[in-house]
Each structure stands twice: as C-alpha cells, then as structure tokens.
Amino acid sequence: MIKGRVKGKIWSSRRVDSMPSGALLEIEVEEGGQLIAFDPLGCDTDESVLITQGSVAASYFNGRTAPVDALIIGSIDETKT
Amino acid sequence: MIKGRVKGKIWSSRRVDSMPSGALLEIEVEEGGQLIAFDPLGCDTDESVLITQGSVAASYFNGRTAPVDALIIGSIDETKT
Amino acid sequence: MIKGRVKGKIWSSRRVDSMPSGALLEIEVEEGGQLIAFDPLGCDTDESVLITQGSVAASYFNGRTAPVDALIIGSIDETKT
Amino acid sequence: MIKGRVKGKIWSSRRVDSMPSGALLEIEVEEGGQLIAFDPLGCDTDESVLITQGSVAASYFNGRTAPVDALIIGSIDETKT
Amino acid sequence: MIKGRVKGKIWSSRRVDSMPSGALLEIEVEEGGQLIAFDPLGCDTDESVLITQGSVAASYFNGRTAPVDALIIGSIDETKT
C-alpha cells in the first residue's frame, strides 16, 4: 500500500455505467506524483490516507465489476518509527 | 486511476481477434508519459479523461476476454482542490 | 519480490471493514522509496524482509477478500552473491 | 497499452513447460526502456506494435495457464494527432 | 517479460507457509534495478534469464496459492537484433 494526502475531489458526469457512485479523490502520493482514488470512508481534504492499488482495489466491490484500480482503505492515525 | 488528455487515435488493422472493436486513443498522462487506452465513451481530442489500468480495465468487457489494460472510464468535469 | 527494511508501524483506526487485523509496517525498499506492507510474521524494526506485491499479496488471505496489495512473505537470513 | 518497436527475437531453449511456443520479441518501448513480448501476429523487425501487459496478456491464452505478462496485440498503422 | 542476470541466492528461514520450496534468486534487471525471483529451472550465477511478473508468476503454481510475484521462465540463449 502507499501513503498519500487528499487534495480535492474530481467530478465525472459522463462516465461508464459500471463506475460505482461515490467520491473520487485526488491524492498526492507521499513518494511523489498524484493519483485518483475511490473513497468509501468520506475523507477530508488534507487527510492522510492509506491506498491499495490494482485488481485488489476492484475486489472491494463484492459481487459487482467496478473499474476502480485505486482505493482508500484507511485514514492514517500516526506513524511511529 | 490517473488523469490524462486525449491526443489522437491510433489504427491497428492487423490485430488479435479478441481485441474489441472501438477507438484506441493516445493519452498524454498528466504526471508525464503517454499510453494507449480503449475509449467506450467517444471522447474528443484535448478532452480530460480518467483512466483505469491493469486487469480492472479488461474486466469492463463482461463475459469476454479482451486484451485491454487501459480504459477510459470517465470524462473529467472540473477539479476542486 | 523486492527486499526492504522495516522502519515502523502505522495505525489506521478508521478503515474499511474488509481490512484484516494485523500489523501494517512501513518498509524502506532496498531499491529506493517506501511502501506499507501487511505483516503476518511479527517482524521487528530494522529487520530485512521479502515483500510480494499486487493481487498475489491479497490471495494470501484464503477465502476472504482483503484489500492488501503488499505482503511480507519472509525474513531474509543472508545474501550470498 | 503501450507503443513499441520490434528490435529482434530472443531464444530460450531451457524454459518452463507452460511457456507457449511462439516468438518472443525484444521491444523498444516508445516511452523508453525495453521489454520482451510474446508475438502471436508474426511481426517483423522495426514494426511498430501495440502491447498489453500483466495478467491481461496471459488471459489471451484461453483455457491454459501461460506465464506471459506482455503480449503484442496489434500492428500500428499510423497515428493522427 | 524482462531480462535479467542471476546475482545470487537469498535465504529466508522464517517465512509464510504458502511459500513454495525452491530457490529465490537475486536478479540484476537489464534495464536497471534488482528484484527477487523464484527459480524453477535451477539457474546458475551470471546466467541470463527471462522473468515474468505479477499474478502471472503466481499462476505457475497450479492448484495452490503461492505468494510469488516474479518467476524465472527461461534461460536466454542469445539475442539477435
């Protein structure tokens, strides 16, 4: 998984039917770069989140086929090193 | 998912039989680089799009095996940060 | 697989229900960069570990759907070149 | 998908049994770098090709398990931008 | 697939039970970087090999779930360009 920070939402009115309804968040990845992740948790801007990618993200949507390859799976509390 | 912009179409007359009919668009990825994505939405040149990658893209083609590893899943309206 | 070193744990109290209980470790990848991996072995800080990624990591959780795309699969003893 | 150009063939006499018979081509990726792709189309050196990657490439081999993670799916005619 | 060269073995005594027995080789990837691949062929140090990655590598282990995301699928004879 990777860590990132929520930068904002994106809207896509014209999209494929299999796209689940829910927020699509723009994420600044801690290691650099940006991606768009589906958010099932209702995260806020600037929140630190944990993201899973690939077919693992799509398998979150049990019993349906969702074209989602990046999913927020948790909000990060703190990091102890 | 990643954001990109449509640059044009590519044509491939000689291709594997399992390739679905439909447009193959050349995409300029926002983070840098280019890729070719299958377009089920009929996007225009310079349109800003959302792209899913990997086996998630292929699973869009229900009930058949399509060799597609990048799919346009939406046209992006606007971004609020 | 890739080699990495355990840097610490992260905590995520608010997370998706399908997340398995267990440690999420911050890993410094030998080739550069960091990632978060699920740890089924109880590894210590500074331990050198072997990590598998993608849907292969999720398939470790037999009979359930876990949103895990990085898994520690071994502690590395030594390297002979 | 990605675009590339055929540079030559590679031969592997000693290989796993599940490897399908057919040409393995060395591809120069347009964005940089090289990879080896399975070629079901009989492409020539210097031909411009379209490549799909990951488990999508393996699923081309219906009804058998092939260890192929890169597949040529088309020969590119021309690009209009 | 990618080309690489065998640099040595790694040992992991403490590992998950689903890890298949067999050699884990440290590979220097031709394009740069290193990875660890499972070796079903008994390759030697300095041997040039072909590697497949991702869930395709795991599917080599028919009828069992192996946490292997990189697999040597062939020894490379020669390259003609």
Span A20-60, pLDDT tens digits: 999 999 999 999 999 999 999 999 999 999 999 999 999 99
- Residue E70, H or E segment: strand E70-75
Nearest by CB to C54, from A54, A73, A77: name it.
Answer: A54
Contact B69 D31 (CB under 8 A): no
Which of the four pLDDT bands, split at 50, 70 and 90, describes residue D51?
very high
Task: In whole angstroms, give the CA distance from residue A81 to residue C26.
Answer: 8
Handedness of CA C13, C17, C20, C21 (dihedral sign): positive
**pLDDT value of position D25:** 98
Q: Does A29 touch chain B (CB under 8 A)?
A: no
Which of the four pLDDT bands, split at 50, 70 and 90, describes residue E55?
very high
Q: Which residues pair with B71 in a beta bridge?
A: B38, B52
Strands E34-39, E48-53: pairing is: unpaired
Mean confidence (pLDDT) of chain E: 94
Contacts of B19 in chain D (CB under 8 A): 73-74
ipTM at complex level: 0.94
Contact A1 C69 (CB under 8 A): yes
Give the CATH number of domain B2-75. 2.40.50.220
Condensed to tens digits (0 to 9), the pLDDT of residues D17-45 reads: 999 999 999 999 999 999 999 999 999 99
Cβ atoms within 10 Å of A72's Cβ, excluding its own:
26
Alpha-carbon distance B74 to nearest alpha carbon in chain D (angstroms): 18
Task: In whole angstroms, give the CA distance from residue C79 to residue E10.
Answer: 5
Q: Determine the average pLDDT of the residues in C59-74.
A: 95
Q: Determine the average pLDDT of the residues in E42-48.
A: 97
Phi/psi of residue B50, nearest 5 degrees: -110, 135
Task: In whole angstroms, give the CA distance from residue C52 to residue C56.
Answer: 7
Does residue A81 carry a pLDDT above 90?
A: no
Chain E, nearest residue to C31 by Cα: E33
In Å, how far from its chain's centre is CA A6? 9
Contact D1 B70 (CB under 8 A): yes
Neighbours of chain B (3+ CB pairs under 8 A): A, D
Q: Structure pTM?
A: 0.95
Contact D19 E73 (CB under 8 A): yes
Which of the four pLDDT bands, split at 50, 70 and 90, describes residue C46?
very high
Q: Does E61 touch chain D (CB under 8 A)?
A: no
Lowest mean pLDDT across A35-39, D4-8, E77-81: E77-81
Alpha-carbon distance B77 to nearest alpha carbon in chain D (angstroms): 23
Contacts of A33 in chain B (CB under 8 A): 31
**pLDDT value of position D62:** 87
Token output for A17: 């039917």
Token output for B37: 């994505």
**pLDDT value of position A63:** 82
Cβ atoms within 10 Å of B40's Cβ, excluding its own:
20
Alpha-carbon distance C52 to nearest alpha carbon in chain E (angstroms): 6
Task: In whole angstroms, give the CA distance from residue E3 to residue D26.
Answer: 10
Q: Which residues pair with E24 in a beta bridge?
A: E10, E38
Which residues of chain B, if any, have pLDDT below 50?
Answer: none
Q: For chain B, which residues make up each domain, given as ranges? A: 2-75
Which of the four pLDDT bands, split at 50, 70 and 90, describes residue D63?
confident
Contacts of C40 in chain E (CB under 8 A): 16
**pLDDT value of position A2:** 98
The runs of H, that is alpha helices, within A1-81 are 55-58
Mean confidence (pLDDT) of chain A: 94
